[in-house]
Amino acid sequence: MKLTLRVWRQQNADADGAMSTYEVDGISSDMSFLEMLDTLNEELILRGEDPVAFDHDCREGICGACSLVINGDAHGPERTTTCQLHMRSFKDGDTIDVEPWRASAFPVIKDLVVDRTAFDRIIQAGGYITAPTGAAPEAHATPVPKPDADLAFEHAECIGCGACVAACPNGAAMLFTSAKVNHLNVLPQGAPERETRVLDMVAQMDEEGFGGCTLAGECATACPKGIPLVSITSMNKEWLRATRKVAKQR
Amino acid sequence: MYMALATRTDRRPSIARTVWDSSVGKKTVMAVSGVIMLLYLVAHMIGNLKIYFGAGEFNAYGHWLRTVGEPFMHYEWTLWLIRVVLVVAVVAHAVSAYQLSRRDIRARPSKYVHKKPRASYATRTMRWGGIILGLFIVWHVLDLTTGTVHPGGFQEGHPYQNVVDTFSTWYGNVIYIVAMLALGLHIRHGFWSAAQTLGVGSRTRDRALKTVAGVLALLLTAGFIAVPVGVMTGVVS
């Protein structure tokens, strides 16, 4: 396959960026999107040019490192991560636009790499349980009803890639935050911090400069792990419950 | 050895502060004020349809609105109470929307080069639709409540004639019908969104909520537009 790539190039966080056009040839339809970019980078290095910087790690669709907006879609046309997107989703002669996640809370570091530490700070605000850890406890020590376990698992699937923020017209992190809140709030292990977790994580989310939810639903469509939009509704419910409960305790 | 866990000793801010400072809280303000306005609109639309039963019934209904609650309430007290609640709801809704929109725009300063049409028409037009509705409310009150911009002689206590006068002008019809179409779109996304914000939406209730939102939007738009259509076709004159 022969392709025309239009890639966002930006030297550093302070520099102005622009789309640069590259031609790549000899692309196999079995290549992943990242392997295609590797091919481009090898050529760029041989030509003595600066290779395109992009995030990647496991290339198995489970780490959440890869982060490209391809032809306007976070992670591209298939519902998966960029590393699991294959070139068979494109046609010979296609022009493909590749851009970084765009949100003021995710500033560009270089080219297609953005700083997602805002997500880490949201997790630090409450995405944990304060039980003393040590050796793994006996599995049946704390019974969890099957529907609750399933719900927690569905939310635990979130890999924190940030596609929800990239796809949201408001650059909101509601789907990410709701996945993390619900994951622990439905479990007995997460119960002691049920109220503070949602209040603190939502407050941190606001502080990081993410936008608000207008329920456009773009986040859930883009999510490679299928976190549903109703997850946001559940978090809103938890937030309202926590606000009432904390107010009563004063 | 366990590290001592930090104990929260700082006081949490008041419930009003928490709600107003949070994006989720401000959405709650929007949802609650929106539901108040929606309930009012249902009553308003049903009242408006009395215009099809003649000047006598319509004007008597207008008079009754001022005497509701008597003798406990004085003349017009109930009406003013409703007006105050509505003004508070409109202002709370608009201020929250303005502040949330500013936050949203700041959160996405640079746009994607590769643009795609996103979300439904109703979702994309919430902000412009809201501005149209805000301007409409100002005109509507100046036209049919205070009579300031009313075409022809505004007569206090003769709402039937006043309505006929307004919808005998081309611009009265255009402004009203455009605003009511915007209202329908606004309610379609707004009602369902309010349910999500207030946490009453769920997987099983989603289809029902979307249907109710669509039906409400359609009924209100059709019910309100029926009045100018009645005047234009001569059924109401």
Q: Which domains does chain A have, with CATH numbers?
A: 3-109 (3.10.20.30), 117-249 (1.10.1060.10)
Task: Describe the crossing of helices A117-124 and A174-185 by its angle, rounded to 10 degrees.
Answer: 30
| Residue A112 and residue A55 in contact, taking contact as beta carbons nearer than 8 Å | yes
Chain B interface disruption, residue of A4, A67, A215, most B CBs within 10 A: A215
CB contact under 8 A, B107 and A210: yes
Chain B interface disruption, residue of A168, A243, A245, A248, most B CBs within 10 A: A243
For chain B, what are the domain ranges?
A: 23-105+119-232
Give me the tens of pLDDT residue by residue for chain A, a chain 250 residues long: 999 999 999 999 999 999 999 999 999 999 999 999 999 999 999 999 999 999 999 999 999 999 999 999 999 999 999 999 999 999 999 999 999 999 999 999 999 999 999 999 999 999 999 877 778 878 788 899 999 999 999 999 999 999 999 999 999 999 999 999 999 999 999 999 999 999 999 999 999 999 999 999 999 999 999 999 999 999 999 999 999 998 777 6
Question: Residue A52, Cα to own-chain centre: how many angstroms?
Answer: 21
B118 contact A CB<8A: yes
The CA–CA distances, whole Å, from A176 to A244, B215, B220 equal 24, 32, 36
C-alpha triplet B7, B11, B13: angle, nearest 5°:
135
pLDDT digits 0-9 by tens, A172-209: 999 999 999 999 999 999 999 999 999 999 999 999 99
CB contact under 8 A, A243 and B8: no
Residue A184 neighbours by CB distance under 10 Å: 22
Nearest CA in chain A to B204: A230
Q: How far is B77 from chain A (nearest CA, A)?
A: 33
B208 contact A CB<8A: no
| Residue B86 confidence class, pLDDT cut points 50, 70, 90 | very high
Assess: ipTM above 0.90: yes
d(CA B35, CA B38): 5
Q: How far is A59 from chain B (nearest CA, A)?
A: 25
d(CA A146, CA A137): 19
Count A/B contacts: CB-CB distance under 8 Å.
139
Domain B23-105+119-232, what fold? 3 helical TM bundles of succinate and fumarate reductases (1.20.1300)
A99 contact B CB<8A: yes
Which residues 34-73 in chain A show a CB within 8 A of chain B?
A: 69, 71-73
